[in-house]
Amino acid sequence: MDIIGLAGNDPATEAWMQSLVDALPTASAGSFVVRYGHWDDGSRYDIAREAAKLKAIAPDLVLAKSLGVMIALDAHAHRGFEPARAVFMGTPLRLFGDVESDRLRTFVKGVPTLLIQQRDDRTGTYAALEARLSERLAVRMVEVPGHDHAYPREVVMPIITRWLSDGS
């Protein structure tokens, strides 16, 4: 299974995301975590620059957290990024306007998606995320305890592996 990992804004999330990809026994040798340019050049993150790296890619699975969710949604909307399935963690609703909310709704209508969100995530609560998705055609939502926008591997991996094995 080809898996693409899209970490959060903090460079420390790159290793965390790689640990998630590596923990999936079905990951192929072609699986990778995207390294963001702003980690290397000290600039502010650039969603369009990172989304361009995903142009016309169709992985079996995308794992994305926070900033990575926004990158995946932009790449899907504008660059032909067509994952077969997706796992979004810590969707940063405080950064969402109408455009991003529409992109999320469009994405989950066509791509089987697992959304993992902390009950009181500081970037957007589980309840707020649920309210944005009145039509949940291809989405499964899982609420986890917390408020700190951190998604420990030991919390999310059992949820992800169970969802993948259910034939989502």
Q: Which residue has the tokens 């890619």?
A: 57
Record: fold of 3-165: Rossmann fold (3.40.50)
- pLDDT confidence bin for 25, thresholds 50/70/90: confident
Total-model pTM? 0.96
User: Residue 135 above 90 pLDDT?
Assistant: no
Note the pLDDT tens digit of each residue in 105-128: 999 999 999 999 999 999 999 999
pLDDT digits (tens, 9 = 90+) for 44-68: 999 999 999 999 999 999 999 999 9
* Predicted confidence band of residue 34 (pLDDT cuts 50, 70, 90): very high
Tell me what pLDDT residue 166 has: 87
Q: How far apart are CA 65 and CA 91, in angstroms?
A: 7
Q: Which two tokens stand for residue 57?
A: 């890619």
CA dihedral angle for residue 40, residue 41, residue 46, residue 52, rounded to 10 degrees: -60
> How far is 61 from 84, CA to CA, in rounded Å?
6
Contact 59, 83 (CB under 8 A): yes
Q: Is 20 exposed, middle or buried (0-12, 13-18, 19+ CB in 10 A)?
A: buried
